[in-house]
Amino acid sequence: MVNDIFKSYLSGMGINEIAKHLNTIYPKENRKWNPRTIHAILRNEKYIGDSLYQKTYTTDSLPLKRYLNTGQRSKYYALETHEGIISKTDYEKVQNLLAKKSITGEIDRTCVFSKKIYCSICGAICSRKGPPTRGFVWCCRTHLQSKALCLLKSIREDELQQAFLSIYNRLQCNQKTILEPLVDDLLGLRHLQEQKYKNRLALGEDIQHL
């Protein structure tokens, strides 16, 4: 099944098309295939024999809750932890294709906010929902899975647009005092993160040689 999904994507089939194809082949299965499931399979490093640890994390305080790790905790990548079923060559080809044509791009190529809006409560990415005739809203993906996991309510797109324009205008008017120092801080933070990433890679290599 997994091999067929990778071969189909490399042959030129889109993620949506693969999901529809699987639902046609297995109409009696309890699980319904959707584009996000296919996308997750194509991104899963376990199929080439590697492992990425701490994809999710548990809160330190009670009540303990588990969330998707979108940067709140460090992640650790280990090579060849088990036998893979997909060649690394095919996997890299798929990752390059995904980088050019992401799942969000397939579903919605027109919205400038796609993959840029994150939940202020749990940190998960927000998705665009609703018919155009009634107006789009943006919803936390964790909240969509279960209201008990995240309390953030949906945000109307017109309100989001107004908030963006308000912030943009303020930054334009205060570029010297706000924007430029912020850019310097972000560049410094990126350099620090890159250094930490290199240190983790070096540590991982040292562990493998033990």
Residue 35 contacts residue 21 (beta carbons within 8 Å): no
SS3 category, 68: strand
Q: Sign of the CA dihedral 182, 187, 193, 199? A: negative
Angle, helix 2-10 to helix 88-100, in steps of 10 degrees: 50
pLDDT tens digit string along 180-199?
A: 888 889 888 888 888 888 88
0.85 surpassed by pTM: no
Summarize the confidence of residues 125-136 as an average pLDDT: 83
Summarize the confidence of residues 118-138 as an average pLDDT: 87
pLDDT band at 156 (very low <50, low <70, confident <90, very high): very high
Q: How far lies 7's CA from each of 18, 122, 134, 164, in Å?
A: 10, 35, 39, 41
pLDDT tens digit string along 75-92?
A: 888 898 999 999 999 999
Is the pLDDT score of 110 beyond 70?
no
Name residue 134's beta-bridge partners.
Answer: none
Percent of the chain scoring above 90 in pLDDT: 35
Residue 143: per-residue pLDDT: 92
Name residue 76's beta-bridge partners.
Answer: 53
Mean pLDDT for all residues in the chain: 85
d(CA 184, CA 164): 21
pLDDT band at 99 (very low <50, low <70, confident <90, very high): confident
Is the pLDDT score of 16 beyond 80?
yes
- Residue 139 phi/psi, 5° resolution? -125, 140
Residue 122: per-residue pLDDT: 93
Summarize the confidence of residues 108-135 as an average pLDDT: 82
What pairing do the DSSP bridges indicate for beta strands 137-140 and 126-129?
A: antiparallel
